Amino acid sequence: MAIIQQALEKLQLFSCVATAAVTSTATSAAIDLKEYDGDVSLILTSAAGTGSSPTLDVKVTDSDASGGTYGDLSGAAFTQVTDSASMQVITFSKDEAKRYIKIVQTVGGSTPSFTFNINALALKKYG
Protein backbone atom coordinates (compact mmCIF):
# COMPACT_ATOMS: atom_id res chain seq x y z
CA MET A 1 0.00 0.00 0.00
CA ALA A 2 2.86 2.39 0.80
CA ILE A 3 4.27 2.00 -2.74
CA ILE A 4 0.93 2.97 -4.29
CA GLN A 5 0.64 5.97 -1.97
CA GLN A 6 4.15 7.16 -2.91
CA ALA A 7 3.30 6.91 -6.62
CA LEU A 8 0.03 8.80 -6.15
CA GLU A 9 1.85 11.57 -4.31
CA LYS A 10 4.01 12.09 -7.40
CA LEU A 11 1.05 12.17 -9.81
CA GLN A 12 0.63 15.68 -11.24
CA LEU A 13 -2.27 17.17 -13.20
CA PHE A 14 -1.35 20.36 -15.05
CA SER A 15 -2.79 22.57 -17.75
CA CYS A 16 -1.27 22.58 -21.24
CA VAL A 17 -3.97 24.68 -22.96
CA ALA A 18 -6.32 26.68 -20.72
CA THR A 19 -10.06 26.66 -21.39
CA ALA A 20 -10.90 29.25 -24.04
CA ALA A 21 -12.95 29.78 -27.18
CA VAL A 22 -10.52 29.33 -30.06
CA THR A 23 -11.29 30.62 -33.55
CA SER A 24 -7.90 30.29 -35.25
CA THR A 25 -4.86 28.05 -35.35
CA ALA A 26 -2.60 28.33 -32.30
CA THR A 27 0.38 26.66 -30.63
CA SER A 28 0.89 26.35 -26.88
CA ALA A 29 3.96 27.54 -25.03
CA ALA A 30 6.77 24.99 -24.63
CA ILE A 31 6.15 22.43 -21.88
CA ASP A 32 9.28 21.03 -20.20
CA LEU A 33 9.03 17.28 -19.50
CA LYS A 34 12.37 17.09 -17.69
CA GLU A 35 10.76 16.65 -14.25
CA TYR A 36 8.48 13.77 -15.34
CA ASP A 37 8.97 10.04 -15.76
CA GLY A 38 7.11 7.26 -17.59
CA ASP A 39 3.92 7.87 -19.52
CA VAL A 40 2.35 11.27 -20.08
CA SER A 41 -1.40 11.40 -20.73
CA LEU A 42 -2.99 14.39 -22.43
CA ILE A 43 -6.72 14.93 -21.94
CA LEU A 44 -8.68 16.98 -24.48
CA THR A 45 -12.12 18.19 -23.43
CA SER A 46 -14.02 20.09 -26.13
CA ALA A 47 -17.53 21.43 -26.57
CA ALA A 48 -19.09 20.97 -29.99
CA GLY A 49 -17.58 23.24 -32.62
CA THR A 50 -19.71 26.01 -34.06
CA GLY A 51 -19.73 27.68 -37.45
CA SER A 52 -19.98 26.03 -40.85
CA SER A 53 -18.14 22.68 -41.08
CA PRO A 54 -15.89 23.35 -38.04
CA THR A 55 -12.80 21.17 -37.54
CA LEU A 56 -10.23 21.05 -34.78
CA ASP A 57 -7.04 19.03 -35.22
CA VAL A 58 -4.70 18.77 -32.23
CA LYS A 59 -1.24 17.21 -32.27
CA VAL A 60 1.89 17.18 -30.13
CA THR A 61 5.26 18.35 -31.40
CA ASP A 62 8.61 18.01 -29.62
CA SER A 63 12.08 19.53 -29.55
CA ASP A 64 15.38 19.25 -27.68
CA ALA A 65 15.35 22.99 -26.93
CA SER A 66 12.52 25.29 -25.83
CA GLY A 67 13.13 27.67 -28.72
CA GLY A 68 14.25 24.97 -31.14
CA THR A 69 12.69 23.40 -34.19
CA TYR A 70 9.67 21.26 -33.36
CA GLY A 71 8.62 18.11 -35.20
CA ASP A 72 5.57 15.87 -34.87
CA LEU A 73 5.71 13.37 -32.00
CA SER A 74 4.80 10.01 -33.53
CA GLY A 75 1.35 8.76 -32.53
CA ALA A 76 0.57 11.85 -30.46
CA ALA A 77 -2.47 13.32 -32.18
CA PHE A 78 -6.12 13.45 -31.19
CA THR A 79 -8.96 12.38 -33.46
CA GLN A 80 -10.41 15.40 -35.30
CA VAL A 81 -13.16 17.24 -33.42
CA THR A 82 -16.08 18.59 -35.47
CA ASP A 83 -19.59 19.66 -34.50
CA SER A 84 -19.92 17.15 -31.62
CA ALA A 85 -18.52 17.47 -28.11
CA SER A 86 -15.45 15.34 -27.48
CA MET A 87 -13.36 14.04 -24.59
CA GLN A 88 -10.22 12.15 -25.63
CA VAL A 89 -7.02 10.87 -24.03
CA ILE A 90 -3.71 10.16 -25.73
CA THR A 91 -0.71 8.70 -23.91
CA PHE A 92 2.94 8.67 -24.92
CA SER A 93 6.14 7.61 -23.23
CA LYS A 94 8.20 10.51 -21.94
CA ASP A 95 11.26 8.50 -22.95
CA GLU A 96 10.15 8.56 -26.60
CA ALA A 97 9.64 12.33 -26.59
CA LYS A 98 12.25 15.04 -26.60
CA ARG A 99 12.55 17.34 -23.58
CA TYR A 100 10.03 19.99 -24.72
CA ILE A 101 6.58 19.58 -26.25
CA LYS A 102 4.09 22.02 -27.75
CA ILE A 103 0.41 21.45 -28.49
CA VAL A 104 -0.54 22.55 -32.02
CA GLN A 105 -4.24 23.35 -32.53
CA THR A 106 -5.40 23.73 -36.14
CA VAL A 107 -8.89 25.20 -36.59
CA GLY A 108 -10.73 24.96 -39.91
CA GLY A 109 -14.13 25.69 -41.43
CA SER A 110 -16.11 28.87 -42.00
CA THR A 111 -16.22 31.09 -38.87
CA PRO A 112 -15.30 28.12 -36.63
CA SER A 113 -15.12 28.29 -32.85
CA PHE A 114 -14.18 25.61 -30.32
CA THR A 115 -14.19 25.91 -26.54
CA PHE A 116 -11.75 23.36 -25.17
CA ASN A 117 -8.85 22.67 -22.85
CA ILE A 118 -6.00 20.20 -22.67
CA ASN A 119 -4.60 18.93 -19.40
CA ALA A 120 -1.72 16.53 -18.74
CA LEU A 121 -1.34 13.79 -16.18
CA ALA A 122 2.19 12.57 -15.40
CA LEU A 123 4.42 11.29 -12.59
CA LYS A 124 7.04 13.63 -11.18
CA LYS A 125 10.50 11.99 -10.98
CA TYR A 126 11.05 13.24 -7.47
CA GLY A 127 8.42 13.89 -4.80
pLDDT digits (tens, 9 = 90+) for 84-103: 999 999 999 999 999 999 99
pLDDT digits (tens, 9 = 90+) for 21-45: 999 999 999 999 999 999 999 999 9
Domain 2-124 classified CATH 3.30.300.20?
no
Query: Are 121 and 10 within 8 A, CB to CB?
Result: no
Could you give the CA distance from residue 71 to residue 121 in angstroms, rounded to a whole number? 22
**∠ Cα 12 69 32 (to 5°):** 15
Domain boundaries, the chain: 2-124
